[in-house]
Amino acid sequence: MFPTLKRVIKSGWLSFRRNGMLSVATIFVMVLTISLVTSFLLLQGISNSLISSLEEKVDVSVYFKKDAPEEEITKIEDELLRIPEVKNIDYISRQQALDTFVEKHKDDAQMMESLKEIGENPFLASLNIKAWQANQYEAVSNFFENSTSKDILEKIDYFQRKPLIDKVFSISSFLKKFGIGAAIILGILAILVTFNTVRLAIFNHREEISIMRLVGASNWFIRGPFIIQGMISSLLSVLITLVIFIPLSYFLSPKLLTIVPDFNLFAFLRSNFGTLLLIQILVGIGIGFFSSLIAIRRYLQV
């Protein structure tokens, strides 16, 4: 069995080398296909980063009455932190709110004049609450509905922000579903394109295959070298794709940071390199193997 395997591999390699242009054409199409899949995976990374940063910006602020004691506010903060939907809470005291305002508007004479006119600190203490996901703010709002500390609450701005929060949630969930749908369609397209390319390559060898049948070669002895050729083409395609993508992402990364500040393309590629490589190899070799196997069947009927 092993000498036969050795022969099949040698024959496949020789055939790959000697069929220059056909092999190049096949590899070209496979590189395009694998590049498309890789680009899509990278785009998914960017998209997920965008979705997270969008969701990060969504929060709910609860404002307390002027005379609300700090211990009461701290007590509410502790109770809120026990809700599993709450990710984190920022407590901004009346003084901190004032200081932030002054810092922000210190060069704006009119603003500073208005503040002086009011005389006292007009700002209220607040808790700025962030949930894990955009659809979890309802739980936070319900907490306050049922809370015994309702009397120290001045305002909850959830209901004003609810339309925005709902919109963010619907956009991000649409993007996620769209991502899956697009991945499936792309995957099918990639398989079809590669399969047809391999089929064309084998079509070119139909005369050879019939000669091999007529001199008494068994089906597997004929198939073997073509499958090896398919797999060599796939492996080379994966390597070429990597050689293209690694420097490309390195150079594009800084430019992309200006559009998507939280996403470093090159770092993403590096940290997911193992997974990406595995997917590329599975896609490439898998498709190469099965395409050769299926495409050659009709020519073995002689």
Partner 1 sequence: MIKFQSVTKNYPPNTVALDDISFEVKSKEFISIVGKSGAGKTTLLKLLLAEEEPTQGRVFFDDQDVHKIKKSKLCFHRRKIGTVFQDYKLLPFKTVYENIAYVLEVIGVNDKDICSQVPDVLDIVGLSEKADNFPQELSQGERQRAAIARAIAHRPEVVLADEPTGNLDPYNTSDVIKLLMKIHEMGTTVILSSHNREVVNSLEKRVITLEKGKIIRDEEKGRFFL
Give the Cβ contact number of residue 173 at 10 Å: 14
Question: What SS3 state is found at 258?
Answer: coil
Contacts of 268 by beta carbon, 8 Å cutoff, 6+ apart = 42, 45
Interface with partner 1, residue 14, by CB under 8 A: yes
- Measured from the CB of residue 285, what is the shortest distance to partner 1 in angstroms? 23
- What are the beta bridge partners of residue 86? 131
Candidates 87, 155, 199, 213: give the one binding partner 1 (CB under 8 A): 213
Task: Return the residue of 5, 7, 185, 294 that touches partner 1, per CB under 8 A.
Answer: 7
Say whether residue 257 binds partner 1 (CB under 8 A). no
190 and 37 Cβ atoms separated by less than 8 Å = yes
Asked if 4 is part of the footprint of partner 1 (rule: CB under 8 A), the reply reads yes
Positions in 217-246 near partner 1 (CB under 8 A) = 217-219, 221
Please report, to the nearest 10 degrees, the dihedral formed by the alpha carbons of residues 197, 282, 263, 251 taken in order.
Answer: -60
Is residue 302 close enough to count as binding partner 1 by CB under 8 A?
Answer: yes
- Closer to partner 1 by CB, 189 or 302: give it: 302
Question: Using CB under 8 A, which of the segments 60-68, 216-224, 257-265, 270-278 binds partner 1?
Answer: 216-224
Are 164 and 58 within 8 A, CB to CB? yes
- Cβ-based neighbours of 232, under 8 Å, separated by 6 or more: 12, 13, 16
For position 195 contacting partner 1 by CB under 8 A, the verdict is no
Q: Which is nearer to partner 1, 118 or 215 (CB)?
A: 215
**Segment lying near partner 1 (by CB under 8 A), choices 13-21, 93-101, 124-132, 146-154:** 13-21
- Using rule CB under 8 A, residue 278 touches partner 1: no
Site for partner 1 contains 1 (CB under 8 A): no
Nearer Cβ to partner 1, position 125 or 295? 295
User: Count of alpha carbons within 13 Å of 59, Cβ hemisphere only?
Assistant: 15
Round to whole Å and give the CA distance between 229 and 223.
10
Determine if 15 is a binding residue for partner 1 (CB under 8 A).
yes
Tell me: does residue 211 bind partner 1 (CB under 8 A).
yes
301 interacts with partner 1 by CB under 8 A: yes
Is residue 216 involved in binding partner 1 (CB under 8 A)?
A: yes
Alpha-carbon Rg for the chain in angstroms = 31
For partner 1, the closer of residues 10 and 75 by Cβ is 10
User: Which is closer to partner 1, CB of 225 or CB of 284?
Assistant: 225
- DSSP-assigned states of every residue in 139-169: HHHHHHHT-TTGGGEEEETHHHHHHHHHHHH
Which position among 31, 42, 115, 212 is part of the footprint of partner 1 (CB under 8 A)?
Answer: 212
CB of residue 295 vs partner 1: minimum separation in angstroms?
18
Total residues in contact with partner 1, by rule CB under 8 A: 20
Residues 6+ away with beta carbon under 8 Å from 13: 228, 232
Amino acid letter, residue 246:
I
- The DSSP secondary-structure symbol of 120 reads S
Residues near partner 1 (CB under 8 A): 3-4, 7, 14-15, 18-19, 208, 211-219, 221, 301-302
